[in-house]
C-alpha cells in the first residue's frame, strides 16, 4: 500500500501478485467500521490492483483471495510491514562490527504488530533482484521479491503466516540477468543433498541445564594450564548400527554412548570434526556450505544442543572443528553469491585454494569478516561449545601458502604474510574471549609463525593453544624407523624441547595422520609383527602423555586400529577382544588417569621449570629419560623411555634419594607386554650418574617406557 494522488484525488493504491487467484480484495483490519475494496485483475498471471480514494494515509489491511476451486484465503500482505533491520544494524554490519548479525540476517521467527511470521534478510549488494522462494509460494520468484535496504547491500522481507519447518532459498537475478538459486548463508538448518534447501528453524529454543558447567568454565578462564585430554571424534564413523543399514548414531544416541566411553577412558574433552552443514560426506565436513547449521545427518539443531548439554552434564567439554579458511565452489552456496565474487577474492592468486580446489574468504571485506566473526560467536552462543579448533591456520597466515613463484600477490609491505587474515584471527580470538571467558581457541598451525598462542596485547595472534605439529612429525618419523637404526635419529626425539615452551602446545595425533596412505597409528610403528608394533605404540603413547603439553588422540588410535580411518564405516571395535589392541586401550585409559590425578602433570604443561632432562644423549642405547615436577620439585615423576630392541640394565641419575615407585610399565602383561619390569620400583643408590649424586638401576625390556614417582619415605 502506497499513498497516491490520482486525477487530483488523494488516496492509496494496493498492488498484489497472487498466483492462481481469480479474485482478490483489500480488507481493512482493526477499524471500527472495516471495509473491503475489490481489486482489479490487471494480468492473468495473478496481478491485482486497486486505488482507494479519499484515504490519504495507509491503513492496516489484509488480502482476501478467491481461487478457482472455490477456496478463499485471507492473509496479511508481506509488504505492509516495516523492515526488521534498522540503520544502526546495517551501519555496524557494513563496518564489520555487528557481532550478532546472525540474529538479524538469515531467517528468523518473529511477531510483528502481533502477527507471527518469518523475517528473511540476505546480503547481496550486486543483485538486481532477490526473492525468497519455497513450498509456500511454489518456488516462484515473482511472489515474494525482497526489498533492498539501500546502499547496505541487504535485502529484507517479512512473510507473515510462515512458521518453523518451512523450506526456502533465495532466487537472485544478477546484473547480467542470469538467475541463481542460493541457500541462505546464515541458515540454521538444511535439508540433505541434492536439494540443499534451508529450513526455518529456531536454534535457541532448547532448554539448557548446564548453567553450573558454564559458571565453572568462566571461573577457570584465567588458567590456560588446566587438564585437557581430548578425544577427537568423527560423528558419522565412531560407531554405526549394522542392524539398521549400517547407519551412524544420531546426536542423542552418540551423546550417551560417547560419554560413557570417554569417561571410562579418562578423557576431559570431546573434539568433533566439522559439523557445519556440508553436502559431500567425503569432505569430512571441511567443505562447508551451511556455516551456521549443524549437519542434518545426525538430527536437527535441537538434538545437537542436547548432545552438548548431555556431555556437559557428564563432565565433558565439547570442542568443534571450525573452518574459516576456505569454502567450496558449489553453485548453490557462497561462491559468486550475487553474481560477483562477494565472499571470495576475484583474483585467483588470492581467492583460489591450490590444494583443495576451494575458495578463500576475502578477510579484508568488512561484511565477510563480520560473517565469520559472527559465525564463531553463534556456535558458542547457540550451542554452548567449550572451544573452537580452527582448521588450516597456516593457509590463512601466508599469501604464498602452497603456491609457486608468480602465483601469489605480496602484501602492501612486499611480504608473504596475509595481513588481513591475521587481523581477522586476532579479532575473532579477542571477541570470543571477551564474550565467552573460558572458551578455548585452538590453532591447527604447522609453521613457526611466532606468537600463535600469545595474547594480542603482547603482539600475538591470540589463540589459547596451538597443535604441536613439529613434535608430532619428528616423533612419528622416529617411531617409523626400525629399532636397530634409531640411534641415528635421536635428534628427532629431543629437538622439540628447544621450542616446547614457545607456545601453549597441544600434543596431537589427529585424523590427518591416519588417512590417505599414511597408515594407522599401529602400522606407522617400526617392526614386522603386530606384537612389536603394539609395544612400539604403547611406548609412544606413554612418552606422549609424559611429555609436556595438552593431549589429543583421534578415535581408533586408543585401541590400535589396524586399518586407516574410513569416514563411511564404523571403527573396528571387535579388535578389542585381542590383547595387542585391548592392551593399548587399557594403557591409554591408565595414562589419562595418571595425567588427571596429579596437577604436576595436568596443570604444569606450560611451566618450563616443570621439565628437566635426566639423560638424552645415549643414542646408542635408544634411551631418553626426563623429569616432570612442580616448580619446587616437591613432586617428581621420572620417565625412562627405551625405544631399542634389546633388553638392558640401565642406570639413570635422579635428583632425590628415596624410593622411586613404578607407576607405569608399558611392558606389563596387563597391557599385552611380557611382564618384565622393575618390581614396583627402585630405591635410589648413592652412585653418581648423569650429573646427580644418586641414581637408580632399572631393567629396560625392548620398546618400553617406565614412569617412576618419587617417594621420600616408601
SS3 label, residue 655: coil
Q: What is the pLDDT of residue 110?
A: 96
Which pLDDT belongs to residue 32? 75
- CA-based nearest residue to 514, from 582, 562, 478: 562
- Round to whole Å and give the CA distance between 585 and 580: 9
With H, G, I as helix, E, B as strand and everything else as coil, classify residue 284: coil
User: How does 43-64 read in b/e, with b if 16+ C-beta sit within 10 Å?
Assistant: eeebbbebbbeebeeebebbbb
- DSSP-assigned letters across all residues of 153-173: -EEEEEEET--TT-EEEEEEE
Q: What is the pLDDT of residue 714?
A: 60
pTM confidence score = 0.95
Cα(249)–Cα(571) distance, integer angstroms:
13
Q: Which residues pair with 359 in a beta bridge?
A: 327, 352
Length of the chain: 714
Q: What residues contact residue 191 under an 8 Å CB cut-off, 6+ apart?
A: 167, 197, 199, 296
Under a CB-based contact definition with an 8 Å cutoff, are residues 108 and 189 in contact? no
Contact 382, 203 (CB under 8 A): yes
- Side-by-side strand order, sheet with 40-43: 2-6, 9-17, 47-53, 40-43
pLDDT digits 0-9 by tens, 564-573: 999 999 999 9
Q: Which residues are catalytic?
A: 391, 444
> Is the separation of the CB atoms in 454 and 460 below 8 Å?
yes
Q: In whole numbers, what is the pLDDT of the chain averaged over residues?
A: 96
Which residue, 62, 66, 64, 65, is CA-closest to 79?
A: 62
The whole-angstrom separation of Cα 647 and Cα 637 is 23
Distance from C-alpha of 171 to C-alpha of 140, rounded to nearest angstrom? 9
Q: Which residues of the chain have pLDDT under 70?
A: 713-714
Which has the closest alpha carbon to 153: 312, 297, 343? 343
- Has domain 2-77 been given CATH number 2.30.30.110? no
Cell digits for 399? 599469501
Structurally, what CATH architecture does the domain formed by 606-711 represent?
Sandwich (2.60)
* CATH superfamily of the 87-199 domain: Immunoglobulins (2.60.40.10)
Residue ranges of the chain assigned to CATH 2.60.40.1180: 606-711
What does R_g of the chain's alpha carbons equal in angstroms? 31
The residue ranges of DSSP E strands in 47-164, in sequence order, are: 47-53, 61-67, 72-76, 106-112, 115-123, 129-134, 147-148, 154-160
Residues of the chain with CATH 2.60.40.10: 2-77, 87-199
Output the pLDDT for position 203: 93
Residue 483: phi and psi, rounded to 5, are -50, -30
Closest residue by Cα to residue 68 from 18, 118, 31: 18
pLDDT value of residue 5: 87
Quote the pLDDT of residue 31.
Answer: 78
What is the pLDDT at residue 663? 98
Q: Is 232 left (phi over 0), alpha (psi -120 to 50) or beta?
A: beta
Between CA 42 and CA 62, with CA 130 as vertex, the angle to 5 degrees is: 50
Give dist(CA 265, CA 588) in Å, integer: 7
| CA separation for the pair 555, 23 (Å, rounded) | 63
The grid coordinates of residue 572 equal 573396528
Sheet of 61-67, strand order: 36-38, 21-28, 61-67, 72-76
C-alpha–C-alpha distance, residues 620 and 700, integer Å:
14
Contact assessment for residue 690 and residue 652, using Cβ atoms and an 8 Å cutoff: yes
Residue 712 is predicted with a pLDDT of 76
pLDDT value at residue 131: 98
Amino acid at each position: 500500500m502506497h499513498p497516491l494522488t490520482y486525477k487530483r484525488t488523494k488516496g492509496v493504491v494496493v498492488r498484489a501478485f497472487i498466483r492462481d487467484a481469480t479474485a482478490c480484495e483489500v480488507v481493512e483490519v482493526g477499524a471500527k467500521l472495516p471495509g473491503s475494496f475489490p481489486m482489479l485483475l490487471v494480468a492473468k498471471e495473478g496481478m491485482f490492483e486497486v486505488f482507494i480514494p479519499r484515504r490519504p494515509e495507509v491503513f492496516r489491511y489484509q488480502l482476501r483471495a478467491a481461487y478457482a476451486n472455490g477456496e478463499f484465503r485471507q492473509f496479511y500482505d508481506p509488504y505492509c510491514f516495516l523492515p526488521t533491520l534498522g540503520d544502526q544494524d546495517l551501519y555496524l554490519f557494513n563496518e564489520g562490527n555487528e557481532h550478532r548479525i546472525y540474529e538479524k540476517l538469515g531467517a528468523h521467527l518473529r511477531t510483528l504488530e502481533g502477527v507471527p511470521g518469518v523475517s528473511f534478510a540476505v546480503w547481496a549488494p550486486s543483485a538486481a533482484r532477490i526473492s525468497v522462494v519455497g513450498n509456500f509460494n511454489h518456488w516462484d520468484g515473482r511472489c515474494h521479491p525482497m526489498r533492498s535496504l539501500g546502499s547496505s547491500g541487504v535485502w529484507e522481507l517479512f512473510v507473515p503466516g510462515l512458521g518453523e519447518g518451512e523450506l526456502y532459498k533465495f532466487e537472485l537475478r544478477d546484473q547480467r540477468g542470469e538467475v541463481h538459486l542460493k541457500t541462505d548463508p546464515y541458515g540454521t538448518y538444511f535439508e540433505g543433498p541434492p536439494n540443499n534447501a534451508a529450513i526455518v528453524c529456531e536454534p535457541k529454543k532448547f532448554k539448557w541445564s548446564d548453567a553450573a558447567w558454564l559458571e565453572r568454565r568462566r571461573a577457570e578462564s584465567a588458567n590456560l594450564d588446566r587438564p585437557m585430554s581430548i578425544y577427537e571424534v568423527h560423528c558419522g564413523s565412531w560407531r554405526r548400527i549394522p542392524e539398521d543399514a549400517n547407519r551412524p548414531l544420531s546426536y542423542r544416541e552418540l551423546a550417551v554412548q560417547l560419554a560413557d566411553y570417554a569417561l571410562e577412558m579418562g578423557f576431559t574433552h570431546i573434539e568433533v570434526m566439522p559439523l557445519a552443514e556440508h553436502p559431500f560426506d567425503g569432505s569430512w565436513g571441511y567443505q562447508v556450505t551451511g556455516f551456521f547449521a549443524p549437519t542434518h545427518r545426525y538430527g536437527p539443531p535441537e538434538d545437537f544442543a542436547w548432545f552438548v548439554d548431555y556431555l556437559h552434564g557428564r563432565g565433558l567439554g565439547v570442542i568443534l572443528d571450525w573452518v574459516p579458511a576456505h569454502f567450496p565452489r558449489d553453485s548453490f552456496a557462497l561462491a559468486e553469491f550475487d553474481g560477483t565474487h562477494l565472499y571470495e577474492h576475484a583474483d585467483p592468486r588470492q581467492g583460489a585454494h591450490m590444494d583443495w580446489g576451494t575458495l578463500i574468504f576475502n578477510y579484508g571485506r568488512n561484511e565477510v569478516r563480520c560473517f565469520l566473526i559472527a559465525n564463531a560467536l553463534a556456535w558458542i552462543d547457540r550451542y554452548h561449545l567449550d572451544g573452537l579448533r580452527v582448521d588450516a591456520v597456516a593457509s590463512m597466515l601466508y599469501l604464498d601458502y602452497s603456491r609457486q613463484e608468480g602465483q601469489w600477490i605480496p602484501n602492501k609491505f612486499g611480504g608473504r604474510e596475509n595481513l588481513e587474515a591475521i587481523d581477522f584471527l586476532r579479532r575473532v580470538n579477542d571477541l570470543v574471549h571477551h564474550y565467552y571467558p573460558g572458551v578455548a581457541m585452538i590453532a591447527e598451525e604447522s609453521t613457526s609463525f611466532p606468537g600463535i598462542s600469545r595474547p594480542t596485547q603482547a603482539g600475538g595472534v591470540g589463540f589459547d593453544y596451538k597443535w604441536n605439529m613439529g613434535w608430532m612429525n619428528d616423533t612419528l618419523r622416529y617411531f617409523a624407523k626400525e629399532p636397530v637404526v634409531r640411534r641415528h635419529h635421536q635428534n628427532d626425539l629431543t629437538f622439540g624441547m628447544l621450542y616446547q615452551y614457545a607456545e601453549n602446545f597441544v600434543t596431537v595425533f589427529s585424523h590427518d595422520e591416519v588417512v590417505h596412505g599414511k597408515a594407522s597409528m599401529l602400522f606407522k610403528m617400526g617392526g614386522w609383527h603386530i606384537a612389536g608394533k603394539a609395544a612400539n605404540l604403547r611406548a609412544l603413547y606413554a612418552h606422549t602423555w609424559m611429555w609436556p603439553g595438552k593431549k589429543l588422540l583421534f578415535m581408533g588410535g586408543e585401541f590400535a586400529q589396524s586399518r586407516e580411518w574410513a569416514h563411511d564405516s564404523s571403527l573396528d571395535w571387535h579388535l578389542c577382544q585381542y590383547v595387542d589392541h585391548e592392551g593399548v586401550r587399557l594403557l591409554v585409559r591408565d595414562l589419562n588417569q595418571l595425567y588427571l590425578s596429579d596437577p604436576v602433570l595436568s596443570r604444569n604443561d606450560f611451566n618450563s621449570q616443570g621439565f628437566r632432562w635426566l639423560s638424552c644423549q645415549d643414542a646408542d642405547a635408544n634411551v631418553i629419560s626426563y623429569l616432570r615436577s612442580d616448580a619446587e620439585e616437591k613432586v617428581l615423576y621420572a620417565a625412562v623411555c627405551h625405544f631399542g630392541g634389546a633388553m638392558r640394565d640401565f642406570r639413570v641419575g635422579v635428583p632425590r634419594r628415596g624410593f622411586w615407585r613404578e607407576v607405569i610399565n608399558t611392558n606389563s602383561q596387563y597391557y599385552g607386554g611380557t611382564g618384565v619390569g622393575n618390581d614396583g620400583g627402585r630405591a635410589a643408590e648413592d652412585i653418581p650418574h648423569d650429573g646427580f649424586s644418586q641414581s637408580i638401576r632399572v631393567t629396560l625390556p625392548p620398546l618400553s617406557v617406565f614412569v617412576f614417582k618419587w617417594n621420600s619415605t616408601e
